[in-house]
Amino acid sequence: MIGWGFVAVGGFFGAISRFWIGNVVKRLKLTKLPLATLIVNLIGSFFLGYLFAGVSEHIYSLFGVGFLGAFTTFSTMNVEAIQLLNGKHIFTGVFYLGITYLIGVLLAFYGYFLAINLEGVFQTPS
């Protein structure tokens, strides 16, 4: 039952953080690229890779499933890509998908390798 609590608390803060970043980035109006979703998904990729290297079940429930699960968004990314492609922004849509997947995977690997090289950090005692 405690696991559910960790997921719920993490999810609350992840959703609030995503909402806040979305509002801040929308005010900037820098590009047609959906920057808010790109930012949260790339941040989430890095930290999920980091957590994947080995944390306790409670830490993973709180941050991996809860916070990052609510913070990142695969479905919104796909809808935004479709909107770009349907709006005749073909290059921007393909670029958005490409950098999201390519950089996202690279950041996940980087987070993972960073975590395993920080000996003992977030490791559960044996």
| Cα 91 to Cα 109: distance, rounded to the nearest angstrom | 27
Residue 40's pLDDT band (cuts 50, 70, 90)? very high
**pLDDT number for residue 55:** 84
Task: Give the whole-angstrom CA distance, residue 111 versus residue 108.
Answer: 5
pLDDT tens across 72-117, in order?
A: 999 999 999 999 999 889 999 999 999 999 999 999 999 999 999 8
- Residues making up the binding site: 69, 72
Number of C-beta neighbours around residue 74 at 10 A: 11
- Both structure tokens of 17: 């953080």
Q: Which parts are annotated binding residues for Na(+)?
A: 69, 72
CB 61 within 8 A of CB 3: yes
- Whole-angstrom CA distances from 111 to 51, 58, 59, 114 are 8, 19, 16, 5
What is the distance between the terminal CA atoms of the chain, rounded to a whole angstrom?
24
- Rounded CA separation 32/47 (Å): 26
For residue range 47-74, list pLDDT tens digits in order: 999 999 888 889 999 999 999 999 999 9
